[in-house]
A and B are shown apart, each in its own frame.
Chain A
Amino acid sequence: MSSFSLNLAWRLFKHETRRGELTIILLAIVLAVSSVLSLSLFSERLQSALSTKSAEFIAADRVLSARKPVADAWLEQAQTLELDTAQQVRTRSMVFAKQHMLLAELCAAGPGYPLKGQLKVSDQAFSEGLPTSELPGPGEAWVESRLMQSLALNIGDSLDVGDAAFTVTKVLVSVPDAGFSVFAGDPKVLIPLSGLPATNLTGPGSRVSYSYYFVGDTSVLDEYYTWLRPQLDREIHDWNSVDDDDSPLGRSVQRAEQYFLLASLLAIVLAAVSIAVAAQRYSQRHYDPVAIMKTLGATGRQVKQVYVLQILFISTLGILIGGLIGFLLQQAVVWALAGQLDVSMDAWHWRPVFIAIFTGAVCAFLFSLYPLLKLFSVSPLRVLRRDLGANLSSRAIQFIASGGAIFLLMWAYSQNLQISAILFVSGILLVLALLLVTFGLIWLGRRLGQGKMGAWRLAWARIHRRALDNSVQLISFAITIMLLLVVLVMRNDMVKQWQDQLPQGTPNYFLINISQEQMPNLAEHFNQADVSLDKFYPVVRGRFVAINGEKIRTDISKEEESAGDAGRQGLGREANLTWNTQLQIGSKIVAGRWFDENTSASEEQMPFEVSVEERLAQRLGINLDDTLTFNIGSEVVRVKVTSLRDVNWQSMQPNFFFVIEPRAMAQFVPTYMSSFYLPIDDKPKLTELLQPFASVTLFDVDAQINQLRSIVEQVSVAVEFILVLVLIAGSLVLVAQVQASMDERQQELAILRTLGAKGSLIRWSVICEFVIIGMTAGLMAATFNELSLYLLQTEVFSMQATVHGQFFIIAPISGAIVVACLGGISCWRLLRLNTSHLLRQMV
């Protein structure tokens, strides 16, 4: 590298930076780097905060569930790798107090449990709990409100569990890993692990589940799992991580992550567009210096070095400034959110920093490649023939180069081919359609412009004259507006659908075990208390025993241990069976068909029909037309699978694995279940409400609902901030585009001015031109917004696609207003400069 190139490049860079020549390209790089850094650092921090949060829902980063105790070596290995571990043993057992007894879920927790999240306890049943970091001491038990109620227990009472006695010292309000299922099972009794042997409940034949909890770095956890996996037995062991989390929370977080990714991708595209715009302008401004240098004897190599070095300097500066701004922006958002989100976002991540630098560099070089190639091809002859431009003229190269670069960046960044392809393809379609529309407009404009006076005519004339330039400009406006729309609408739809899942008044209490005789009284009682009850669902408990006559493992049977793995995998506990003629709200048939209501009851045909929840069917290997056998009381009922249902477990409504045709159940006496909503302030009413119905069991899911709702709110707030960031990025791109295009108009405006055109005429004609461009861009953006949203929502976010008619009006109008205002402002600035100054700048 010659010292000439370095000197000259540095000198040009210094002077041009000082004189503001590089402002736009620098701004574009700064924009790219700062938006990518702030978005991805913020989203990475938020993601890790949220996954910490969701780790709380399994009480660890990874959980190994087993039906037998695992070898000590497994835990030793985890400790060798310096993973934190804890364990819990669970079994179902009758517990006794004051001559009452009840089936309970006995949880014996070892030291350290829960590794993530907190236990909440209180001193009173059905009251709000406070977090604690302790576990029950030796001889102590913490029990859930339901059990307190059913056994009429008080703090300090004694509770018999198996062969041991415990003192109830606290009401257990919640455990982090309880799950969101409404019927999480029997009420819990939490005792220390050291107290378990004395109960003698874990002997042979008892059904015990062992959970081992692990916390540590993802890489170490993965290393451990790699070591562990060959030793696992699918029938006995189950390895769980937060990512497999299919809870409503898990889905919300996943969707939010995808949204962040989408927003960052769009930010990259926005930045890339602005760099392309700026580089084009930069290149054109350097045609003369290149021609001069070549004339004065500079070789092609020297010219290339000078400009590549220049780009290097510019991108270095841009990356530095952008990095700083991006970091501060992101930090500001984190600070602003700190009050609203109860997650800590202090974790530092290097990945976003690398991505931002990489993006800045790739954008700076790839998007300036074509303009630079054009620049290099400028002939020295330009010093004599001023109108001579670059020798390279194929726009196709530009489209292919920058299109390919955008796609590669998106793909490399998202590592999600689908999301990238969807955005990219709709982008291409947009570009093609816009080209068509532009030329159509220009054709139309020629007619409209004729005979009209003043500003409009000038505007149309200008649009017509620079057809290609205008089409490029129109395309970049439309893309910017479309991307903003996508981010905006996506956020609205997503947040709305989250909120729809848990509308105000979602039942937060469930009643089960309502007998047929109690039902009218209960309804009447609640009615008087002004609490509205949902519909009553009949429930019959049954044991699921066979598929197509093949016996399945019923976990409670004694033979299980000796029979080994012979039987098919079963459900593990009694199932709640319901019957219904109508499909529940939020469920949909995915295979087969719902019961035919017209089948007359008199037709005595066995087997009756059953509808099975889809994922359970998958887990147990149940197919359409299989015959399932249930033991209900002493009866055996055989039913044929006629449909599989997708159940929305997020709906917090009573949901069932099996729904049986009403005819089949006619002979059984069901109990009923129902649900109701009670505001938190009315909680004291509960006792009075339920007092007359002692045998009815109350489930309190208020805590779960609140937890869910708060997560959804937090994620929504985060999404909101991301939206604001992208909006800012997009607006900056619009400004850059308008400025660059004003640049191109400068000469023409100067000439018009010189020829004596009034300032107001020029300004209005420019504003009219931008109104036309902004409106068209907005309309096109709204159209293609629908297309990409449809694809994104159905293919990537698995949500229901929606149509947004309002944007067909909003987008063109706001596009026209915003673009015209920006154009008007920069035109006004231009017109303030005097004509000779303008003309001199042009040379």
Chain B
Amino acid sequence: MTPEKMIVANGISKTVSTAQGQLQILQPISFNVSVGESVAIVGASGSGKSTLLSLLAGLDEVTSGEIFLNGQAMHAMNEEQRAQLRGANVGFIFQSFMLVQSLSAIENIMLPAEIAGTANAKQRALDLLKLVGLDHRASHYPNQLSGGEQQRVAIARAFITQPKVLFADEPTGNLDAANSGKIEQLLFELNRDANTTLILVTHDQELAAKCQRQLHMHAGELTETAELSSIKHALNATQKRG
């Protein structure tokens, strides 16, 4: 039985210890994300976006609060359990692509499926590679691909396990305008087709506007501008149609 909410965050905060003492980089935050929803987290550099993403995706432990992903209590899990949860439910796209340099494009795409032990990973990887338009580059290594191409491989990799939720941290941050456009298009297309929940971190207002909801980070605090953004979103949609 799939829960209504994909992510439930209850007063999660993050404190790190530095040479100068304890530093709270995330004030207590509460919000929910529904299944299939797309959410943008926007804010200035250093405002805590990545920190929030790392907590939502289970890459890091919360200092306090509760967090549920797909109904499972992530705050009570250890790193191993979270790894398994990630493998089963989560896909990732990063600013710096994060491909394994010694694996070819196709092998990079297969990687999450192989970790999870999925059968026919190779066929699925080939299909996805075709989908992102790189089927002729299957055996190329990351350093033989352009930034845009690498990010397309990363997108294919993110979808191979058919994740329920996809986290993207500044996916176009390292790309030029033309490539950014292509990547955005691909990302939203695939997302819509698979009905994946999407959490997108960006400082790009235009990209954020393409999501159903925007959350604003400012100095570790979260403010929601849901209505405004949904109006913008509707406006965009009508403009495109017209």
Interface centre among A7, A289, A295, A296 (most CB of B within 10 A): A296
- CB of B79 within 8 A of CB of A16, answer no
- CB of B87 within 8 A of CB of A297, answer yes
Interface centre among B50, B88, B98, B103 (most CB of A within 10 A): B98
Query: With A298-B87, A300-B80 in contact, is A383–B117 under 8 Å at CB?
Result: no
For B102, list chain A residues within 8 Å (CB): 12, 15-16, 19, 21, 289
Cα A379 to Cα B57 with chains together (Å)? 14
Closest-by-CB residue of A relative to B174 is A843
Produce 1/0 per residue, A13-40, CB < 8 A to B.
0011001010000000000000000000
* A288 contacts chain B at the CB level, 8 A cutoff: yes
B217 to chain A minimum Cβ distance, whole angstroms, is 14
B52 to chain A minimum Cβ distance, whole angstroms, is 11
Query: With A383-B94, A840-B143 in contact, is A296–B80 under 8 Å at CB?
Result: no
For A299, list chain B residues within 8 Å (CB): 80, 83-84
Closest-by-CB residue of A relative to B150 is A843
* B111 contacts chain A at the CB level, 8 A cutoff: yes
Which B residues between 103 and 154 are near A, CB-CB below 8 angstroms?
103-104, 107, 111-112, 114-117, 141, 143
Closest-by-CB residue of B relative to A843 is B96
- CB of B100 within 8 A of CB of A292, answer yes
Produce 1/0 per residue, A268-300, CB < 8 A to B.
000000000000000000001101111111111
Contact pick for A4, options B92, B94, B96, B114, CB 8 Å: B114
* A799 contacts chain B at the CB level, 8 A cutoff: no
Which B residues between 163 and 187 are near A, CB-CB below 8 angstroms?
169
- CB of B114 within 8 A of CB of A8, answer yes
Closest-by-CB residue of A relative to B89 is A297
- CB of A841 within 8 A of CB of B59, answer no
- CB of B112 within 8 A of CB of A11, answer no
- CB of A4 within 8 A of CB of B115, answer yes
* A385 contacts chain B at the CB level, 8 A cutoff: yes
Produce 1/0 per residue, A372-397, CB < 8 A to B.
00000001110111100000000000
Contact pick for B117, options A4, A293, A381, A841, CB 8 Å: A4
* A91 contacts chain B at the CB level, 8 A cutoff: no
For A8, list chain B residues within 8 Å (CB): 111, 114
Which B residues between 189 and 232 are near A, CB-CB below 8 angstroms?
none
Contact pick for B87, options A16, A291, A296, CB 8 Å: A296
- CB of A298 within 8 A of CB of B83, answer yes
Cα A380 to Cα B103 with chains together (Å)? 19
Cα A840 to Cα B117 with chains together (Å)? 32
Query: With A380-B59, A384-B54, A384-B169 in contact, is A288–B88 under 8 Å at CB?
Result: no
* B37 contacts chain A at the CB level, 8 A cutoff: no
Produce 1/0 per residue, B36-63, CB < 8 A to A.
0000000000000010011000011000
Interface residue range, chain B? 35 or more
* A302 contacts chain B at the CB level, 8 A cutoff: yes
* B101 contacts chain A at the CB level, 8 A cutoff: yes
Query: With A4-B117, A295-B86, A299-B84 in contact, is A383–B79 under 8 Å at CB?
Result: no
- CB of A383 within 8 A of CB of B92, answer yes
For A296, list chain B residues within 8 Å (CB): 86-87, 92, 111-112, 115, 157
B29 to chain A minimum Cβ distance, whole angstroms, is 17
Cα A364 to Cα B53 with chains together (Å)? 39
Cα A297 to Cα B84 with chains together (Å)? 5
Cα A300 to Cα B112 with chains together (Å)? 15
Closest-by-CB residue of B relative to A295 is B92
For A383, list chain B residues within 8 Å (CB): 59, 92, 94, 98
Contact pick for B50, options A293, A297, A384, CB 8 Å: A384
Cα A840 to Cα B50 with chains together (Å)? 24
* A2 contacts chain B at the CB level, 8 A cutoff: yes
- CB of B116 within 8 A of CB of A297, answer yes
For A19, list chain B residues within 8 Å (CB): 102, 141
Which A residues between 244 and 287 are near B, CB-CB below 8 angstroms?
none
Closest-by-CB residue of A relative to B58 is A380
For A302, list chain B residues within 8 Å (CB): 115
For B83, list chain A residues within 8 Å (CB): 294, 297-300, 380
Produce 1/0 per residue, B64-87, CB < 8 A to A.
000000000000000110011111
B177 to chain A minimum Cβ distance, whole angstroms, is 20
Query: With A4-B115, A297-B86 in contact, is A15–B92 under 8 Å at CB?
Result: no
For A12, list chain B residues within 8 Å (CB): 102-103
Contact pick for B115, options A21, A289, A298, CB 8 Å: A298
- CB of A15 within 8 A of CB of B86, answer no
For B85, list chain A residues within 8 Å (CB): 297
Produce 1/0 per residue, A430-454, CB < 8 A to B.
0000000000000000000000000
Cα A843 to Cα B115 with chains together (Å)? 24
For A385, list chain B residues within 8 Å (CB): 50
Closest-by-CB residue of B relative to A291 is B98
B10 to chain A minimum Cβ distance, whole angstroms, is 22
For B84, list chain A residues within 8 Å (CB): 297, 299
For B169, list chain A residues within 8 Å (CB): 384
Closest-by-CB residue of B relative to A294 is B83
Closest-by-CB residue of A relative to B107 is A11
Closest-by-CB residue of A relative to B158 is A296
A617 to chain B minimum Cβ distance, whole angstroms, is 72
Known: A12-B103, A289-B101, A292-B111. 4 other contacts (CB 8 A): A295-B59, A297-B83, A297-B161, A381-B54
**What is A's interface to B at a CB cutoff of 8 Å?**
2, 4, 7-8, 11-12, 15-16, 19, 21, 288-289, 291-300, 302, 379-381, 383-386, 840-841, 843
A sample of 22 inter-chain contacts (CB < 8 A) reads A12-B103, A15-B103, A15-B104, A289-B101, A292-B99, A292-B100, A292-B111, A293-B115, A297-B83, A297-B84, A297-B85, A297-B88, A297-B112, A298-B115, A299-B80, A299-B83, A380-B59, A380-B79, A380-B83, A381-B59, A383-B59, A384-B50
**What is B's interface to A at a CB cutoff of 8 Å?**
50, 53-54, 59-60, 79-80, 83-88, 90, 92, 94, 96, 98-104, 107, 111-112, 114-117, 141, 143, 157, 161, 169
Q: Which A-B residue pairs are the 5 nearest by beta carbons? A: A297-B87, A296-B112, A15-B102, A297-B86, A289-B100
